A and B are shown apart, each in its own frame.
Chain A
Amino acid sequence: MINFIIKRILVSFVVVFLVSLFVFSIMHILPGDPVRLAMGFEATEQDVQRVREQLNLNKPLVEQYVLWIGGLFRGEFGISIAYHRTVAALLQERLPRTINLGIPAMIFAIIVGVGFGIISALWRGKWIDQVITLISTLGAGTPQFWLGIVGIYIFAIGLNWFPMQGYTAPNQDFALYLKKAVMPVFCMAIVMFASLARQTRSSMLEVINQDYIRTARAYGISEFSVIFRHALKNALIPVITIIGLQVRVVIGGSLLVEQVFNIPGIGTMLTSAVSNRDYFVVQSCVLIISLFTVAANLIVDVLYGVFDPRIRLARG
């Protein structure tokens, strides 16, 4: 088990290293001088040169890379040319907002997605199964930004149940946070919900048809116990993988959802950084996002090993 975890951690490091090379090289592939582009053509040559030195852009490539990574370890992410602030300060301000919506979205997607998947499998072919399958098929193909806009049109403009846009921190005014969070959380969750419902349904159906489930039933074990003690445990193993894979989808979706609901989180910051060519923000944001997904997948893989000794033994 220890071997397996160490191996997985090493692989994660390699992955993060490759991502860091990717985002680092992007800045150097770009035609033109990123500092000049970001500061505009009215900036004087001295100013541009000063910022260039400040950002270590006058040093050789390898040294730049080492300095950048070293800075990351000390919590220095460079400065945002567009916002005139350090990226660290921006992250500190914006990351909690994205997390405060992203985590509830994932929890919602997991509970409802797995729950619907189980219901769907148990009542296979019945109307409830068909309704859930239809919802998850539509959910997987719905553009999240569009869903948000339709939601605003119906629930904010039409029914006036929720505010149209914006974000309030939960520790500031929890009731207002909830009111503003309902629609964005739902939109962020929809894609993950859809794939979890589908995966849970199909792996549940697969498990229910296995011999040991029939044996359990033949022994007269109650249906509740057969489903929740014997079937679900095995059916959930592939579902855990999907949860790991879907973390990146939720993060990607946050870009769209934050834009629709005008939430000043990481997503809107990254989007505007790309349009403003604020490269240092792009670099750090992409690296941090990939750290999140790599960590999520690492946790999922380790959990996988804990839940399923077969995998632990095969991979260890």
Chain B
Amino acid sequence: MMQNFNAESFKQFLRVFFGRGILVQISLVIILIFVFSALLAPILTPYTPLEQDLTQMFANPSAAHLLGTDNIGRDFFTRLLYGAQISLVVSLLSSVWAGVVGIILGLIAGYFEGLASSIIMRVIDAQLSIPSLIFSMVLGMVIGQSIPGMAIAIGIGAIPSYTRMVYGMVLSLKHNDYITAAALVGQSETKILLKHLLPNCFAPLIVIFTMSLGTAIMVEAGLAYLGVGIAAPTPAWGVMVSEGYKYLTQHPRLAILPGLCVMLVVVAFNIVGDGLRDALDPRLRGKL
């Protein structure tokens, strides 16, 4: 469907995508707010996320501090905005990097049968036997707990879903006549892979990419919460939940609001992913 991309099919896509009900629209709005808060954080708030005001500890929400302040007087709204920035950066970096590596591995494993294929797919199986949270945590220990380090570690955890999808698509497509024809007229294998096989994976790839953005945010928050990811005082949402948990009885908002942000954004990415799947290619339903 994406190959003969035209105005008609785009309209059809929009109709199905937005026809899925109000949830898709709300989710899109949430994602937009998320992205804008991340990009415009320095403009949207007069404070910085690390700036302490010890005269204003645990201040309640007011005009000066929209959502109040935390245990050392840092503006909570500011920290939430900068938290969005970290989530956005980590999820984009990790998903792009996972996508590139995962697609290449999937193309190779699917197109060239034999040893390379078995090795790649068994390594993917092995990785899938370790929960992705634990896998990224152990890798993070090796790579380091910086933002790029965590993005790499989380991204490696996301590679299998790309590889398996591309692998399956290539296996089912490579015996088609047009692939055989391309090989017969002497097109190189790289060209066949990139020009004829990869474009067929476009629709499911968009869906997986959307979903993996949500998953990455979830894993990042989990690791930060456990204290083995991005560490305090960086205002990652998971760090904020873990710090706020200590003051749950008196100041529940400190733990509950950042977690709510994680949930809203992850659910929004999942719903949009579902919507994209149905609108781009209904046959994918139940497979992704």
Bound pair: A and B?
yes
Given contacts A137-B267, A150-B256, contact A275 B228 (CB under 8 A): yes
Question: Which of these binds chain B: A50-58, A85-93, A282-290?
Answer: A282-290
Question: In the complex, are the beta carbons of A270 and B134 less than 8 A apart?
Answer: yes
Q: Which residue of A lies closest to B274 (CB)?
A: A137
Question: In the complex, are the beta carbons of A271 and B259 less than 8 A apart?
Answer: no
Contacts of B248 in A (CB 8 A): 149, 152-153, 157
Mask of B212-243 contacts with A, CB within 8 angstroms, 1/0:
00100010011001111000000000100110
Q: What's the minimum C-beta distance from A236 to chain B, rounded to whole angstroms?
A: 14
CA distance A253 to B131 in the complex (A): 9
Whether A67 is near chain B, meaning CB under 8 Å from some CB there, is: no
Whether A2 is near chain B, meaning CB under 8 Å from some CB there, is: no
Question: Which of these binds chain B: A106-114, A116-124, A140-148, A214-222?
Answer: A140-148
Question: In the complex, are the beta carbons of B214 and A141 less than 8 A apart?
Answer: yes
Contacts of B218 in A (CB 8 A): 141, 143
Whether A313 is near chain B, meaning CB under 8 Å from some CB there, is: no
Whether A170 is near chain B, meaning CB under 8 Å from some CB there, is: no
Contacts of A30 in B (CB 8 A): 141-142
CA distance A270 to B133 in the complex (A): 12
* Number of A positions contacting B (CB below 8 A): 51
Contacts of B241 in A (CB 8 A): 143, 145-146, 149
Question: Which of these binds chain A: B56-64, B77-85, B122-130?
Answer: B122-130
Question: In the complex, are the beta carbons of B225 and A256 less than 8 A apart?
Answer: yes
Whether B245 is near chain A, meaning CB under 8 Å from some CB there, is: yes
Whether B286 is near chain A, meaning CB under 8 Å from some CB there, is: yes
Question: In the complex, are the beta carbons of B226 and A259 less than 8 A apart?
Answer: yes
Contacts of A22 in B (CB 8 A): 126
CA distance A57 to B262 in the complex (A): 42
Contacts of A274 in B (CB 8 A): 137-138, 141, 228
Question: In the complex, are the beta carbons of B256 and A146 less than 8 A apart?
Answer: yes
Whether B266 is near chain A, meaning CB under 8 Å from some CB there, is: yes
Mask of A71-106 contacts with B, CB within 8 angstroms, 1/0:
000000000000000000000000000000000000
Mask of A242-254 contacts with B, CB within 8 angstroms, 1/0:
0000001101110
**Per a CB cutoff under 8 Å, which of A19, A142, A255 touches B226?**
A255
The binding surface of chain B is classed by DSSP as: helix
CA distance A142 to B241 in the complex (A): 13
Question: In the complex, are the beta carbons of A145 and B131 less than 8 A apart?
Answer: no
CA distance A252 to B249 in the complex (A): 28
Q: Which residue of B lies closest to A297 (CB)?
A: B129
Question: In the complex, are the beta carbons of B141 and A289 less than 8 A apart?
Answer: no
Contacts of A203 in B (CB 8 A): 286
Question: In the complex, are the beta carbons of B256 and A252 less than 8 A apart?
Answer: no
Q: What's the minimum C-beta distance from A277 to chain B, rounded to whole angstroms?
A: 7
Mask of B238-260 contacts with A, CB within 8 angstroms, 1/0:
10011001001100100110011
**Per a CB cutoff under 8 Å, which of B142, B222, B286 touches A206?**
B286
Question: In the complex, are the beta carbons of A293 and B130 less than 8 A apart?
Answer: yes
CA distance A22 to B266 in the complex (A): 30
Question: In the complex, are the beta carbons of B228 and A248 less than 8 A apart?
Answer: no
Given contacts A19-B130, A152-B248, contact A202 B286 (CB under 8 A): yes
Whether A14 is near chain B, meaning CB under 8 Å from some CB there, is: yes
CA distance A293 to B123 in the complex (A): 15
CA distance A202 to B242 in the complex (A): 37
Q: Which residue of A lies closest to B245 (CB)?
A: A149
Question: In the complex, are the beta carbons of A15 and B129 less than 8 A apart?
Answer: yes
Question: In the complex, are the beta carbons of B225 and A282 less than 8 A apart?
Answer: no
Question: In the complex, are the beta carbons of B263 and A11 less than 8 A apart?
Answer: no
Q: Which residue of B lies closest to A134 (CB)?
A: B23
Given contacts A248-B128, A252-B133, contact A282 B259 (CB under 8 A): no
Whether B132 is near chain A, meaning CB under 8 Å from some CB there, is: yes
Contacts of B23 in A (CB 8 A): 137
Question: In the complex, are the beta carbons of A26 and B142 less than 8 A apart?
Answer: yes
Given contacts A26-B142, A140-B270, contact A146 B260 (CB under 8 A): yes
Contacts of A183 in B (CB 8 A): none
The residue in B23, B122, B133, B242 that gathers the most chain A C-beta atoms within 10 A of its C-beta is B133
Q: Name B residues whose Cβ lies closer than 8 Å to a Cβ of A.
A: 23, 122-123, 125-126, 128-134, 137-138, 141-142, 214, 218, 221-222, 225-228, 238, 241-242, 245, 248-249, 252, 255-256, 259-260, 262-263, 266-267, 269-271, 285-286
Q: Name A residues whose Cβ lies closer than 8 Å to a Cβ of B.
A: 11, 14-16, 18-19, 22-23, 26, 29-30, 137-138, 140-146, 149-150, 152-153, 157, 199, 202-203, 206, 238, 248-249, 251-253, 255-256, 259-260, 270-271, 274-275, 277, 282, 286, 289-290, 293-294, 297
24 contacts between A and B (CB under 8 A): A18-B122, A26-B141, A29-B142, A30-B141, A137-B271, A138-B267, A141-B263, A144-B222, A149-B248, A149-B255, A149-B256, A149-B259, A150-B259, A157-B249, A251-B131, A252-B132, A255-B222, A256-B225, A274-B138, A274-B228, A282-B138, A286-B134, A290-B129, A297-B129
**Sample of 14 further A-B pairs with CB below 8 A, known A26-B138, A252-B133, A271-B137:** A15-B126, A142-B263, A143-B218, A143-B225, A146-B241, A146-B255, A149-B256, A251-B131, A255-B226, A256-B226, A271-B227, A275-B227, A293-B130, A293-B131
